[in-house]
Amino acid sequence: MMGLFYMLVFPGFIFLSVFGMAAEYCDRKLYARLQNRVGPPWFQPLADFIKLVSKEEIIPEEANPSMFKIMPVLALTATITAFFYIPAWGYKALYSFNGDLIVVLYLLTIPTLTFFLGGWYSTSLYSKIGAVRALTQLFAYEVPLLMSILAPALLANSWSLSEIAKFYAQHPVYWFFNLLGFAISMISLLGKLEKVPFDIPEAETEIVGGTFTEYGGKLLGLFRLGIDIEAIVGSALLAAVFLPFGLGLPPVAGFLLFVLKVMGVICTLSILRTIFARLRIDQMMAFCWKVLAPLAFVQLFIDLILKWIPLK
């Protein structure tokens, strides 16, 4: 019974949906204010979701109906499941085991794969171009993101997010040496969420809506909700690995601090996507492989040195 409550209410579907929509509002509002615009009202994300759910569901004639319908569900399920292994307002995640870090990174890869498959099976030219871009982009940012998060794990001598968070909470002096990895992870997360300057798969001025061109109604609503929740889970992952402060606080205070840390990451992402313009796919690939990947190796090297020469 409690397992069902965890999945559907807290910290599962309902909690993440509300938190995701709140984060989307803050992201859009801050993005608008930085561009000297008013921005949407507080209820806009919910209104958009209700509008999409109430619309007719249209499937392209040549599309694969089964693949077309199941991809949004898989994207949403993967992101929600990943959150259960991330320590949020305490040292221990809801479900924790040695190796859950790899599971979380794997689960966060699934939404991008569903974007590719959903766009590919839409059979639309615009959707296929967006799908190929999404998959190509995956191979660019995923390696720097993986290395920048595995480096702190090596120093903590654990593949468990709970143990990693506990280690850095008990040894805050090591936090400073992981700042480079934190910066790399933030930029890589922009690519994973397909936000400017890495919104290449959904470049509306080039390929209409990219992967989601043929999607509408509740299927598009599920995709959008999945992206909102993915932003929360990705931000929570970065907060657990790089900002493990206040995990020993009482539950209510720890939860409020967790919300502040996640919103801090969301707002930072908003500022970054305000500063930069969209890159071409070749520029994005070159930046990730020639800049982010070498810097991630530097972070890995730093943590390996600290592992064998511990600070006093």
Does residue 276 register a pLDDT over 90?
Answer: no
pLDDT computed for residue 312 by the predictor: 57
Q: Please tell me whether residue 97 adopts helix, strand or coil conformation.
A: coil
**133 phi, psi to nearest 5 deg:** -65, -40
**Which CA distances in Å does 254 have to 53, 87, 124, 248, 257?**
34, 11, 47, 7, 5
Total residue count of the chain as it appears in this document: 312
pLDDT computed for residue 1 by the predictor: 67
Give the whole-angstrom CA distance, residue 49 versus residue 145: 30
Q: Where are the domains of the chain?
A: 11-308
Residue from 172, 143, 310 nearest 242 by CA:
172
pLDDT tens digits along 98-154: 889 999 999 999 999 999 898 888 878 888 888 888 888 888 888 899 999 999 999
Give the whole-angstrom CA distance, residue 117 versus residue 209: 15
- C-beta of residue 72 within 8 angstroms of C-beta of residue 219: yes
Residue from 207, 182, 179, 181 nearest 194 by CA:
207
pLDDT tens digits along 237-246: 999 999 888 7
Residue 47, number of CB atoms within 10 A of its CB:
12
10 Å CB burial of residue 96 (0-12, 13-18, 19+) is middle
pLDDT tens digits along 196-234: 788 877 777 777 777 888 888 899 889 999 999 999 999
DSSP secondary structure code for residue 279 in this structure: P
Number of DSSP helices (H) and strands (E) in the chain, helices first:
14, 0
